[in-house]
Chains A and B, each alone.
Chain A
Amino acid sequence: AQSVTQPDIHITVSEGASLELRCNYSYGATPYLFWYVQSPGQGLQLLLKYFSGDTLVQGIKGFEAEFKRSQSSFNLRKPSVHWSDAAEYFCAVGAWGGADGLTFGKGTHLIIQP
């Protein structure tokens, strides 16, 4: 069975500082990997996705993520955070075919300090 671990429940970062959110997955085959962001009262918005090719993927809002197969990781990064980045971030894994939906981690709550 596939699973996703986001080891950090909360992360506090100063505005303008760099950010890295960790994600480790367990999946038997080549995974489809996603990062979503959820703001209060909002639905989940896709930041970026990986399923093949270049292991460094670029997303919206200046985010990027790097797929490392040897470490089963898909960490999310941003060089300089803005106060508007404060939100809940979810890493998710899916299978080809999509019939079983996505498996999400428990999320990381990002707090931005002024």
Chain B
Amino acid sequence: DTGVSQNPRHKITKRGQNVTFRCDPISEHNRLYWYRQTLGQGPEFLTYFQNEAQLEKSRLLSDRFSAERPKGSFSTLEIQRTEQGDSAMYLCASVGIGQETYEQYFGPGTRLTVT
């Protein structure tokens, strides 16, 4: 159990560029979540996968955002045509099979700065 990993840890991009983040959940965890955290706020739910199926999307997830989880393992979050308002920490969390408490294990996050 090596924990949830996220790459890159930091990303600086210019407005209008596309960025992609990767999340590797704990091995065999079938549930995966993406959150966004802005300065001075708690994390806000973006989307949820169970295995490879994306089952929930928050209204925060505009059409510039897309997430995938091919083969039910790692996940990617892509932001197209980035805006300054997209600057935030993007967090990934995973939950194991049969964990009724839905205890979420978080990765260290990817900090995005849009200039």
Binding site for B on A (CB under 8 A): 4, 32, 34, 36, 41-46, 49, 51, 90, 92, 94, 97-107
A94-B102, A98-B95 known; A106 vs B40 contact (CB < 8 Å): yes
The answer, yes or no, to whether B109 is at the interface (CB within 8 Å) is: yes
Question: How many residues of B are in contact with the other chain, CB < 8 A?
Answer: 28
* Chain B hits for A103, CB < 8 A: 45
Q: Is the CB of A43 within 8 A of B109?
A: yes
Given known contacts A32-B102, A106-B42, A99 and B4 CB-to-CB distance under 8 angstroms: no
Contacts of B105 in A (CB 8 A): 46
A-binding residues in B (CB < 8 A): 4, 31, 33, 35, 40-46, 48, 50, 55-56, 58, 91, 93, 95, 101-109
B48 in contact with A101 (CB, 8 Å): yes
Q: Within the complex, which residue of B45, B58, B107 is in contact with A43, where a contact is CB–CB below 8 Å?
A: B107
Least Cβ distance of B50 to chain A in Å? 8
**Measured between alpha carbons, how far is A23 from B22 in the docked complex, in Å?**
32
Q: Are A102 and B91 touching (Cβ within 8 A)?
A: no
Q: Whole-angstrom distance between the alpha carbons of A34 and B103 in the complex?
A: 9
Closest to B33 in A: A101
